Structure 1
């Protein structure tokens, strides 16, 4: 019984739940792109990233929308026009992503060196 309780606590951990969303390959990049451009259509986001499949972009945008980081506006026209933008919650996350980006740039050389040393050990 105690093991099940610990499992439930881990699955409901706020930090784990939030970080799991950004642990994928594309979420942070999409948020940064939307922060730079304010409003973008699906194909504009796709062109900005380049090597993401349309399906993966769609899945990632839906996840970000479900969490409230991105809003989606559909215009009733033919062909359909859909725009994406950051919500207030998404905008509030950007300074933290920027801090992580700066830290990554400052420490990437050390991390790569450590990986190489570990691999050769």
Structure 2
């Protein structure tokens, strides 16, 4: 007994063989608007590898948001300000200039800033080797932008401390807008006592 091979039947005249049409997606059940927004944002983030995308630090998935958070770290800003004010420094000099920073945090912050192309690490061939850190052009630009913020903070800290003390004595701490879901307008000026004079 021989097994005959089956061959597909020839297409009928006037008709072409087509792939089966794609089935429409099933309706999403149990999905929220937030899920849809996240999918849309994720799709936009992965779209157009060659397309130039506009960066926005307010965007949830924008890479500039993560970069902003890394650079806004207090140690990173203080290191940039110190290098901008005093110039190139060795590790120990930086640790003294930025009071309170641990060796671990200083090492981590310097590595982050170097990785982002903001500072340079130069090893001078001598015994023992002398390692100094300095600002690269982009780091200098950022240091120049941050320095006025540091000066402003120094000048306005007394007034802000007084305002904070006044706020703490005139507001009831028992009302916590974060833990009160019904308080959407917790920061509405109408909720705060009016001050005269």
Q: Normalization by structure 1: what TM-score?
A: 0.79
Aligned to 1:12: 62
Whole-angstrom CA distance in 1 between matches of 2:129 and 2:60: 42
Q: Is the 8 A contact 2:118 2:135 kept in 1?
A: yes
Residue number among 132, 143, 151 corresponding to 1:102 in the alignment: 151
Aligned to 2:181: none
Aligned to 2:121: 72
Find out whether 1:62 has 2:119 as its counterpart.
no
After superposition, the Cα gap between the structure-2 partners of 1:98 and 1:49, relative to the gap in structure 1 and judged at 3 Å, is closer
User: Number of paired residues?
Assistant: 120
Aligned to 2:38: 3
Whole-angstrom CA distance in 2 between matches of 1:116 and 1:52: 28
Output one character per residue of 1:37-84: Cα deviation in whole Å (capped at 9) or x when no partner.
Answer: 221111111122242111111001001111111111123444332111
Q: Is the 8 A contact 2:84 2:144 kept in 1?
A: no
Which secondary structure does the structure 2 equivalent of 1:26 belong to? helix
Q: What's the Cα RMSD here? A: 2.3
Q: Normalization by structure 2: what TM-score?
A: 0.52
Gaps of 5+ in 1: none
Quick check: which has more Rg, 1 or 2? 2
Gaps of 5+ in 2: 1-35, 46-58, 172-197
The structure whose RCO (Cα within 8 Å, separation 6+) is larger is: 1
Output one character per residue of 1:9-56: Cα deviation in whole Å (capped at 9) or x when no partner.
Answer: 413153x33431233231111112111222111111112224211111
